[in-house]
Chain A
Amino acid sequence: MDELELLKKDWQKGNDNYPKLSYQEIYSMILKKSSSIVKWIFIISILEFVFWIVISFGLKASGYSMDIEGLEKKFGFIAITILSYGILAYFFYRFYMNYKTINTADTAKNLMENILKTRRTVKQYVFFNLVVLVIGVAYMMPIAINQDENSRALLEQATANGELLKYYASIALVTIIALAIGIAILLLFYWLIYGILLKRLNRNYHELKKLEV
């Protein structure tokens, strides 16, 4: 006899052997909190949105404190501000719509795809913020150097010594290294969190996708 047929016979016989939970026991279960990955992805995504909003406020605040009279009127600064809020709204809308389509009664493959889509939106948002961060730093760095008295003194000293190029190169290098370390820490953090959360989903999704090839 086919092994599975034997198993099926036994499986269907065993209906009376499962535990019987009472109405009260089941009722108390529906009051408990879920620990599903969708809930965690939602919480982490919201934290990511909050994190980048705080960072962008922080950057703007430091921009204002550097040049109270001029910076808020500069076209580049205004454009970046408007654009970043518009894009934040767009990402948040997409995230919300994706999240709404997650339905546990969907087919397994659709459910996995929708969860991955939600995650992808947040990933794009993070990527967008990293780009803005790099552009923002590149844009504000020269302004900061010109505003800061210590930097100006150093600049004058470097000009006097004929080491202007060396001065700019060392500032650029320090900025790039600081940015690279910051971005690497962030990426490692995402990789760890989502790696753990989505390990099972990714494995099973690939198993289903493999069938289509």
Chain B
Amino acid sequence: MDKALEHKFVELLEKHQNIVHKVCRLYTNNQEAHNDLFQEITIQLWKAYPKFRGDSKFSTWMYRVGLNTAITLYRKSKRSITTQEFESVQFKIKSEPYDDTEEQQLKLLYNAVHQLNDIEKALVFLYLEDKNYSEISETLGITEVNARVKMNRVKKKLKTILNP
């Protein structure tokens, strides 16, 4: 493929790389797996790039390819979560400290999200990224009504995980 295309793609991905990091954050439990998934998503984005027509924004297109890679194409099996591994990831990308209770609650929440299945994680991810239900339904290929229903179930499931 030609150099100009390569250059344009790498520049765009460098700018929007957070989207890929965020997908990896939800779907992996340790640094090694994070890097591995990041690489696979990058390869898939690059392979799909010549077909990217610019009908949608580059970032919107990235959400699709990124999630599809994590949900469908990624082959490596997930290793079971060990608390130590999970916490090391959490500490590395820890945000501003709040008061202890809120920080503790967030830790539990992230932990709970990691226990969801792949599709539930995708819904949560798009929700956290402030996507509306129409975008969520278009990304996953389900109806808007089903996306809402599923989201409500996910919220309930998270509550159950947090307060068993």
Within 8 A of A (CB), among B144-161: 146, 149-150, 155, 158-159
The interface residues of chain B, by DSSP majority, are classed as: helix
Q: Is the CB of B130 within 8 A of A12?
A: yes
Q: Which of these, A4, A18, A29, A112, contacts B22 with CB under 8 Å?
A: A18
Kindly count the residue-residue contacts between A and B in the assembled complex, taking CB atoms under 8 Å apart: 166
Nearest-Cβ distance from residue A209 to partner chain B, whole angstroms: 9
Chain B residues near A3: list those with CB within 8 A. Answer: 105, 109, 155, 158-159, 162
Q: Is the CB of A21 within 8 A of B17?
A: yes
- Judge if B85 is at the interface, Cβ distance under 8 Å: no
Q: Is the CB of B138 within 8 A of A107?
A: yes
Q: Is the CB of B155 within 8 A of A108?
A: no
Chain B residues near A150: list those with CB within 8 A. Answer: none
What is the bound-complex CA distance between A37 and B39, given in angstroms? 15
| A208 and B119 contact, Cβ closer than 8 Å, known pairs A26-B17, A29-B39, A108-B140 | yes
Q: Is the CB of A109 within 8 A of B65?
A: no
Q: Is the CB of A26 within 8 A of B44?
A: no
What is the bound-complex CA distance between A22 and B94, given in angstroms? 22
Q: Across the interface, name the chain B residue whose C-beta is closest to A34.
A: B43
What is the bound-complex CA distance between A176 and B142, given in angstroms? 47
Chain A residues near B25: list those with CB within 8 A. Answer: 18
- Judge if A204 is at the interface, Cβ distance under 8 Å: yes
In the complex, given contacts A108-B67, A108-B122, what are 14 additional A-B residue pairs having Cβ atoms less than 8 angstroms apart?
A: A7-B110, A7-B124, A7-B128, A8-B127, A15-B18, A30-B42, A30-B43, A32-B39, A35-B76, A36-B75, A37-B73, A104-B73, A197-B75, A200-B74
Could you tell me which A residues sit within 8 Å of B by CB distance? 2-4, 6-8, 10-15, 17-23, 26-27, 29-30, 32-38, 40, 103-112, 115, 197, 200-201, 203-204, 207-208, 211-212
- In order of increasing CB-CB distance, the 7 nearest A-B pairs are A109-B141, A107-B141, A36-B73, A18-B21, A30-B46, A211-B146, A11-B128
Could you tell me which B residues sit within 8 Å of A by CB distance? 6, 9-11, 13-14, 17-18, 21-22, 25, 38-40, 42-44, 46-48, 51-52, 61, 64-65, 67-69, 71-76, 92-96, 102, 105-106, 109-110, 113, 117-119, 122, 124, 127-130, 138-142, 146, 149-150, 155, 158-159, 162
